[in-house]
Amino acid sequence: MTTLQAANRHALIVDDHPLFCDALALTLQAIAEFADIEMAGTLADALEKVTASDLISLIVLDLNLPDVTGLDGLIRLRNAVPDIPILVVSSMADHTMIGFTIKAGAQGFVPKNSDQSVFAKAYEALKQGKIYLPETYISQQVDEDPDREDVLSRIATLTNQQTRILGLICEGKLNKQIAFDLSIAETTVKAHVTAIMRKLQVKSRTQAVLVAQEARFANALPNEG
């Protein structure tokens, strides 16, 4: 379990709505003394910031970003920086989606309409290395669909590069096209595809696409944050 660093805390807010980012930054400053709060409006920008700095100790993530769909952004951030706690702040606060978010690697979930006291509770939980869930969350609801939860669990094991490759496979691209798009050798793509199929427990590219669709790697969440 990842925990917040004790001192010199830096936060990264990942959301494409500037006004909400500003409000959230004020909230974070009110509940904890952050040395710095950065903002990113896209997943690509967020990945660039977290890989360029070793000071960020908390990521606050909206699920709906211009360059991601569903849980893709969360999964890719978790794979890129496994030791940084990620707090998801989203308007998609139904019980099933909250459960999927935690399963995909978030350390907490706060509904977007929450007041400052809820953010304070979430921050304290993360500081103690605990997972924060809304008080109204009913965990049993996720268990009503164990097969889908297992699919999401398998998707979450993919590396950042494997997630990109799976996305390109879902677009119908061949290994040669994927190699060109990612500027890597075709043999490297083949090795990744083999690893992807092993992790997803499938025997063909078509089955891998079906698994991705089932987990809503492209459809896990409705198209809103």
Which range has the worst mean pLDDT, 13-22, 90-99, 190-199?
Answer: 90-99
pTM of whole model > 0.75? no
Per-residue confidence band for 223, with pLDDT thresholds at 50, 70 and 90: very low
- Please tell me the predicted confidence (pLDDT) of residue 1: 53
Amino acid identity of residue 197, one-letter, is: M
Asked whether the predicted pLDDT for residue 54 surpasses 90, the reply is no
Which range has the worst mean pLDDT, 113-127, 143-157, 166-180, 187-201?
Answer: 143-157
- Same topology for domains 10-140 and 145-214, yes or no? no
Per-residue confidence band for 72, with pLDDT thresholds at 50, 70 and 90: confident
Asked whether the predicted pLDDT for residue 22 surpasses 80, the reply is yes
Q: Mean pLDDT for the chain? A: 83
CATH architecture of the domain 10-140 equals 3-Layer(aba) Sandwich (3.40)
Asked whether the predicted pLDDT for residue 95 surpasses 90, the reply is no
* Distance from C-alpha of 135 to C-alpha of 139, rounded to nearest angstrom: 11
The domain spans of the chain are: 10-140, 145-214
Asked whether the predicted pLDDT for residue 140 surpasses 90, the reply is no
* Distance from C-alpha of 28 to C-alpha of 47, rounded to nearest angstrom: 21
Share of the chain above pLDDT 90, in %: 44
CATH architecture of the domain 145-214 equals Orthogonal Bundle (1.10)
* Distance from C-alpha of 106 to C-alpha of 100, rounded to nearest angstrom: 9
* Distance from C-alpha of 69 to C-alpha of 61, rounded to nearest angstrom: 13
